[in-house]
Amino acid sequence: MALPTVASLCRALGKDLHPADGFVVPETPVTAVHVSELVDPTSYVSGGELLLTTGLVLPTSRIEWEGYVSRLRSVGIAALGIGLGPRYSEPPEALVEACKIGELTLLIVPAATPFLTISKAYWTARARSSEQHLQDAVAAHRALIDAAASADPAAEVLRRLARAVDGWAATLTPTGKLDQIHPAGLVEEAEALQSEVERLEVAGVHSAASFVARGRYVAVLPLSVEATVVGYLAVGTTEQLSAMRRQVVLTAVALLSIDSIHWQRDAPAREATARCVASLVDLGHIEAARQLAALEGLPMLQREGRVLLVHARDSEKVIRVVESWSADVLAVAITRAESWYLLPSRHPRLADLSRWLSKADPTASAVVSELVRLEDIGTTRSRLGGRLRRLSGGELSLEEFPLGDARLIAATLDDFLEVQSKDVIAALAAYLRHHGQWAQASRDLGVHRNTLRYRVSRAHEALGVDIDDPDLAARLWLLLRERGVA
């Protein structure tokens, strides 16, 4: 709620309250109007007040006036109003000079104007501001509720929430990755927040967090369905959230959580279909699996994939973890403790999956295959079963794709070059050219080191490989040279 300012009160009151000669009224917020004839009123104010006095018992010497003004400044009085009539027909010159020296705004209340007029004007302005504040809050909540009834509730809630808080709003997955954001042009700003989220270990925690990132105040709140965190809402603003805006954000959290419940009601049917598709692939019926996936709107099956086998205490819990890691996996629960997954040829880093599996179940063991044709998925899964049974509890054999598979490295790089911006590609090339030396690479590109780090992190995430591995880095560098981009 915006407070009346010294300037707005003077504008509203006109001739009843105006600055003394040589003073300019500031846009300083006024917390209250206080009347006092005390030589030292500081015990009765808390700062930000417009102090009114007739000066009946106030000092007359220059030094005493300077002490009086200094005391008012020490407690943060917004402005001093001298009421003419009872003692002074003009403001004392010593007071004027003391206020100029102390940089305290001096206002004049004419003899015909009672102090009550000033107080009434102030509280009328406060009431008007409170009414407007309430109307804004109601409008913001109504806009969010209308958004929840739209065709795309999550996207529309984010759009209207960003407008209500005058910043950006984004949803994150349960693992802290960016899901969607509004305005879309601030995607890099929200992506930079991911490292902060991971550092604070917000993902998986049932409590809110707030911090400053890229000059904005960021708040992250969990979206929960019963005892399960299904995602996070993050908002970024140029100033800290007011009480009203915090309530609007909490309303958005409730609406997005409800939307997640609706989505989860449809999830069993989608999960059952996904498992049917994976089972068809496992049995070698590839064309039937492709047609079923296309018919049900599941991710398009590629020509190749990888098999992941996991043994844990609760296969359904593990399935949720793996599906949060990558939305394009197809999962099948074999038993209560064992499950297998068809991974696409391009997927997030397996190191992230290892961390999340260990967190969900420290006793989980897992193994992943190399890239194979879909026609070979069934035999590959059977072969991996023996490897999985030889692993001890908590052992995760999740290697990235073999460095010897030059074909896969080249295909991965070609996909990367096709979709990434020139800046990200140039950053990767410079980083590899200078063998990971940030200072030399940043000078080569003429960009700040932090900018280079961000672009290289995007390349690292997009490629899904360890670009600091010497062998892989050398191969990537040669492939970039062959393609004329390094």
CATH number of the domain encompassing residue 73: 3.40.1390.20
Q: Has residue 402 got a pLDDT over 60?
A: no
**How far is residue 372 CA from its own chain's centroid?**
38
Q: Has residue 169 got a pLDDT over 80?
A: yes
Q: Has residue 272 got a pLDDT over 50?
A: yes
Verify that 161 and 97 share a domain, yes or no. Answer: no
Q: Please name the residue that has the structure tokens 């040669």.
A: 478
401-410 LR contacts (CB < 8 Å, sep 24+): 401/306, 401/370, 401/371, 401/465, 402/370, 403/469, 403/471, 403/472, 403/475, 405/370, 405/371, 406/475, 408/345, 408/371, 409/465, 409/472, 409/475, 409/476, 409/479, 410/479
User: CB count, 10 Å around CB of 354?
Assistant: 16
Q: What is the largest CA-CA distance in the chain?
A: 103
Verify that 335 and 422 share a domain, yes or no. Answer: no
| Res 199: pLDDT | 57
State what percent of residues in the chain have pLDDT above 70.
86
Of the listed ranges 207-211, 268-272, 367-371, the least confidently predicted one is: 268-272
Verify that 388 and 437 share a domain, yes or no. Answer: no
Confidence at 345, pLDDT banded by 50, 70, 90: confident
Where is the domain boundary, 123, 157, 182? 123
Verify that 175 and 83 share a domain, yes or no. Answer: no
State residue 29 phi and psi, 5-degree precision: -60, 145
pLDDT, greater one: 463 or 27: 27
Verify that 140 and 252 share a domain, yes or no. Answer: yes
pLDDT, greater one: 110 or 291: 110
Distances (CA, A) of 59 to 44, 64, 85, 318, 469: 19, 6, 17, 79, 79
207-242 tens-digit pLDDT: 677 777 777 788 888 887 655 677 788 888 888 887
Closest CA to 168 of 216, 236, 232: 236
User: CB count, 10 Å around CB of 181?
Assistant: 24
Confidence at 40, pLDDT banded by 50, 70, 90: very high
Verify that 241 and 312 share a domain, yes or no. Answer: no
Confidence at 19, pLDDT banded by 50, 70, 90: very high
Residue 293 belongs to some domain of the structure: no
| Res 118: pLDDT | 94
Give the CATH number of the domain where residue 145 resides. Answer: 3.30.450.40
Where is the domain boundary, 339, 368, 397? 397
Verify that 376 and 413 share a domain, yes or no. Answer: no
What's the rounded Cα separation, in Å, for the pair 32 and 27? 15
Q: Has residue 205 got a pLDDT over 80?
A: no
Residue 279 belongs to some domain of the structure: no
| Res 37: pLDDT | 92
Of the listed ranges 57-71, 81-95, 248-262, 295-309, the least confidently predicted one is: 248-262
Give the CATH number of the domain where residue 434 resides. Answer: 1.10.10.2840
Confidence at 186, pLDDT banded by 50, 70, 90: low
Per the CB < 8 A criterion, the answer to whether 225 and 195 are in contact is: no
What's the rounded Cα separation, in Å, for the pair 407 and 226? 46
Sort strands 372-373 and 304-311 into parallel, antiparallel or unpaired: antiparallel
Average pLDDT, rounded, for the chain:
82
Angle at 435 between CA 433 and CA 437, to 5 degrees: 105
Residue 271 belongs to some domain of the structure: no
Verify that 158 and 215 share a domain, yes or no. Answer: yes
Q: Find the mean pLDDT for residues 192-204.
A: 57
pLDDT, greater one: 308 or 154: 308
Where is the domain boundary, 123, 143, 173? 123
Residue 294 belongs to some domain of the structure: no
| Res 38: pLDDT | 93
43-60 tens-digit pLDDT: 999 999 999 999 988 878
273-318 tens-digit pLDDT: 777 888 888 888 888 888 888 877 777 788 888 899 999 988 888 8
Give the CATH number of the domain where residue 374 resides. Answer: 3.30.70.270
User: CB count, 10 Å around CB of 239?
Assistant: 11
Confidence at 108, pLDDT banded by 50, 70, 90: very high
Of the listed ranges 28-37, 223-232, 463-472, the least confidently predicted one is: 223-232
What sign does the dihedral 114-119-124-129 (CA atoms) show? positive
Q: Please name the residue that has the structure tokens 């967190």.
A: 359
Residue 351 DSSP class? H
Q: Has residue 201 got a pLDDT over 60?
A: no
Confidence at 142, pLDDT banded by 50, 70, 90: confident
Confidence at 263, pLDDT banded by 50, 70, 90: very low
Residue 268 belongs to some domain of the structure: no
Residue 283 belongs to some domain of the structure: no
Residue 376 belongs to some domain of the structure: yes
pTM of the model: 0.41
What's the rounded Cα separation, in Å, for the pair 382 and 393? 20
Verify that 348 and 456 share a domain, yes or no. Answer: no
Verify that 413 and 358 share a domain, yes or no. Answer: no
Cis check: omega of the bond before 183, within 30 degrees of 0: yes
List beta partners, residue 373: 304
Verify that 412 and 390 share a domain, yes or no. Answer: no
Q: How many domains does the chain have?
A: 4
Verify that 114 and 66 share a domain, yes or no. Answer: yes
Residue 222 belongs to some domain of the structure: yes
Distances (CA, A) of 324 to 172, 176, 307, 317, 449: 11, 10, 17, 11, 32
Which range of residues forms the domain containing residue 428?
406-482
What's the rounded Cα separation, in Å, for the pair 277 and 305? 14
